[in-house]
Amino acid sequence: MEANIFLEREPVGKLMARYAVPLIVSLLVAALYNIVDQIFIANADYLGSNGNAANNVVFPMTVIALAFTLMIGDGVCAFVSMSLGAREAKQAGDSVGSAALLSSTCGVIIAAIYYLFRDELVTFFGGRVNDETFRLAVEYFTFIIPGIPFYVFGQAMNPVISADGSPNYVMLSTLTGAMINIILDPIFIFVFHWGMMGAAVATIMGQIFTAFMSLLYITRKMKAVKFSRANLHYNLPLMKRYLPLGMCSFLSQVSLVISVASVNIMIHKYGALDPVFGQPEFSQIPMAVIGIVMKFFQIVISIVVGLSASCTPIVGFNVGAQRPDRVKSLFSLLLVCETVIGFVAFVIVEFFPASIASLFGASGESVYYAAFTVKCFRVYLCLIIFACVNKAAFIFIQAMGRPYISAGLSMVREIIFGAGLTIIMPIFMGLDGVLWSMPASDGLTFIISLIVIAMIYRELNSGLLRSHA
């Protein structure tokens, strides 16, 4: 019961570093699954920008699966930490068992739905930009689907393992899975010439390994959480308590899908009206380029989310232990760190966009491809600093046991501003309106975030904390 007492006693900066490094590495590695596929696909001359565009079309489907994954994993992680802080060991064990079963079930259901509506989903997310992109997207999606159950289970258990005090184990298992993908990708794509199927098979092989390592840990290696087979059952009362704590993570991913879908649809629509990209031989370029920019953004956000998520066990335990002073210190440190991360990312996108694009096969494409890539990076991510601070605030507030405030902020960013401005601004600005919708959304959300952050500081200064454990 006292295994995690150090979360209330050690300096918050030291604790953040202890949890942040393995979590950031794990999330970066998870992001690399899709990014590495895209790099190898883009550099295969028989796939090229059509393959890049196809990869971008399938990307939202992995985000949908991740939404359910994070709702379960982040929710139970926060709940376990609060339970341990409140000295409720049995409650922590029961919630982990329930989450393990729930994530397994969700993975199977999502995979079945994807099989049933494969072509319709590919079409909805912009796969009909041309016949070759559609064909490659269907091929990639078909072979990604079998890995969904393993992906959902493995990623849902990672936050639980971190909450149990073993973030390094999460880093090792995820890193090894990604290395499997990186090794197999060039073999399957360049040696065997399996194309999109090869990229997908390499990905799911890594996901299977990570899921196996997660299963091994929760069944044999749990430390702070007392876990046994008796905990493996669907506990509805506990689900009602821990799932809301992951609702922000769920809604942020779902709203991201809505935002990405809006971008893809508008890119398809207004790209067709563009004098250059309306030509058949260049029609896939905007879809491919926006995918590259989103992949870079995903790398940055992986660092931001990893740093923020590293605070979840610390915040949850100290909320349960009624230590608002420590929660406030950690929040302040997090906001400073995320601002620095955003500034570094801003410098990269504004001064080195061509170098990033070169990783994705830009040298073999037309001059229109290179020019649009540079423009897209500089415009689409010009307020990336605000995006980093917004995301950090959303996750921290969720970890404090305020899921509805956090979820509301996330939905305002991705749906009201993200999807809304993506649809409205191109009416007046054409294809450029799609690009400017991102910074406009981040800027408007940042104003609201500042108001909520001020409210959180007032609550912490009052010395009163509400625990959901």
Q: Is the pLDDT of residue 469 over 50?
A: no
pTM of the prediction? 0.76
- Dist CA 140 CA 158 (whole Å): 26
pLDDT bucket at 186, cuts 50 / 70 / 90? very high
Give the pLDDT confidence score for residue 386 in this predicted structure.
Answer: 97
- Dist CA 412 CA 258 (whole Å): 12
DSSP 233: S
More confident residue, 250 or 2: 250
Give the pLDDT confidence score for residue 60 in this predicted structure.
Answer: 87
Give the pLDDT confidence score for residue 41 in this predicted structure.
Answer: 87
Q: What is the pLDDT of residues 378-417, one digit of tens each?
A: 999 999 999 999 999 988 988 887 878 887 888 888 889 9
Classify 284 as helix, strand or coil.
Answer: coil
Region of 144 please: left (phi>0), alpha (psi -120 to 50) or beta.
Answer: alpha
Tokens encoding 136: 């490659």
Q: Is the pLDDT of residue 82 over 60?
A: yes
Share of the chain above pLDDT 90, in %: 41
Classify 276 as helix, strand or coil.
Answer: coil
Mean pLDDT score of the chain: 87
Q: Is the pLDDT of residue 80 over 90?
A: no
Residue extents of the structural domains in the chain: 11-462
More confident residue, 92 or 32: 92
Cα three-residue angle 138-31-66, rounded to 5 degrees = 70
Q: Is the pLDDT of residue 1 over 60?
A: no
Give the pLDDT confidence score for residue 294 in this predicted structure.
Answer: 85
Q: What is the pLDDT of residues 296-334, one digit of tens each?
A: 898 898 899 889 988 888 887 888 778 888 889 999 999
Q: Report the run of H or E that residue 238 belongs to, with start and end.
A: helix 236-242
Q: Is the pLDDT of residue 467 over 60?
A: no
Give the pLDDT confidence score for residue 388 in this predicted structure.
Answer: 95
Give the pLDDT confidence score for residue 3 in this predicted structure.
Answer: 53
Q: Is the pLDDT of residue 105 over 50?
A: yes
Q: Is the pLDDT of residue 34 over 80?
A: no
